[in-house]
Amino acid sequence: MRDVIGFCNRITFFFTGMVISLFLFIPFVYAVDLSRGKWVDMTHEFSEESIYWPTAKTFTKTTVFEGHTDTGFYYSAYNFEAAEHGGTHVDAPVHFCEGGNTVDQISLEQLVGPAVVVDISGKTKNNRNYQFAIDDVLDWEKEYGKVPESSIVLINTGSSKFWPNRKKYMGTDKRGAQATKELAFPGIHPEAATFLAEKRKIKAVGLDTPSIDFGPSTQFKSHQILFEKSIPGFENVANIDTLPATGSIVIALPMKIKGGSGAPLRIVAFVPDP
């Protein structure tokens, strides 16, 4: 009899657990109902026009074969070559943090999540070297509430409209080490990077510029601060300006390069219907 009671208790516990699990899962299912809303591609296509750092190898694509084979069927294949950091891409923590996560070590949880979109395009219009500040976060929060923990923060600097014009987008179309002295584009101020990492505990950050740090930076302090906290960065992101301030879900999946400090990124957002 004692065995029967124990068995019944286990069955009851099992089904109770199933009900609780289902109850907890239902809100998540409705939150990401992919049948009601629209998808936004936030990735610049990779081509010879793609923007890369002045010292980095740019994207090249060569033809292996394109046409009809001797046996009659059509076939095409190509090779491509490029630096890790260029075009729409991810910066892994190891890029500026010794011992930090490499591209293949970034968890999926950090690459998928709810987006917070902060628009600073008005401030960058007349100052291409504007640095995203703590006040920009606080001003956003006055209207939309506190940035939720584990958010993916996307910063719209208004730069995406210049792509792929290197001169307008990053301040110079020159190549080589000397060209880096002419770089001009918005970035994240180190104080804001610290605030987002420590006070808001975000999971990732992205913006529509070539770097997390602003153009004239030589120490890349915002990279160091964020990456020491294992927060990856998405750079050269497209179409941030088409997303709402809150409510969208971001999926940012990079090429899984073992030991990589960065990688080409395919990033999209799902914007649910109101």
pLDDT band at 33 (very low <50, low <70, confident <90, very high): confident
Both tokens of 246, joined, read 């809150």
pLDDT at 32: 66
Both tokens of 214, joined, read 């602003």
pLDDT at 17: 45
Does the pLDDT of residue 30 top 80, yes or no?
Answer: no
Q: What mean pLDDT value characterizes the chain?
A: 91
252 membership: H or E segment, kind and range: strand 249-254
Q: ∠ CA(163), CA(169), CA(170), 5° rounding?
A: 140
| β-strands 112-119, 152-156 pairing | parallel
pLDDT at 29: 38
pLDDT at 31: 52
N-to-C CA span, the chain: 56
pLDDT at 208: 98
pLDDT at 24: 40
Does the pLDDT of residue 15 top 50, yes or no?
Answer: no
Is residue 203 within 8 A of residue 224, CB to CB? The reply is no
pLDDT at 19: 38
Query: How many angstroms separate the CA atoms of 5 and 64, rounded?
Result: 70
Q: How does DSSP classify residue 231?
A: -
Average pLDDT for 239-253: 98
Average pLDDT for 35-48: 96
pLDDT in tens, 66-117: 999 999 999 999 999 999 999 999 999 999 999 999 999 999 999 999 999 9
pTM: 0.87
Does the pLDDT of residue 1 top 80, yes or no?
Answer: no
pLDDT at 34: 84
Query: How many angstroms separate the CA atoms of 184 and 127, rounded?
Result: 9
Q: Which CATH architecture has domain 38-56+84-272?
A: 3-Layer(bba) Sandwich (3.50)
Helix (H, G, I), strand (E, B) or coil at 193: helix
Does the pLDDT of residue 155 top 80, yes or no?
Answer: yes
Helix (H, G, I), strand (E, B) or coil at 209: coil
pLDDT in tens, 183-221: 999 999 999 999 999 999 999 999 999 999 999 999 999
**Radius of gyration for the chain, computed over Cα atoms and rounded to the nearest angstrom:** 22
pLDDT band at 35 (very low <50, low <70, confident <90, very high): confident
Does the pLDDT of residue 50 top 90, yes or no?
Answer: yes
Average pLDDT for 121-147: 98
| β-strands 249-254, 204-207 pairing | unpaired
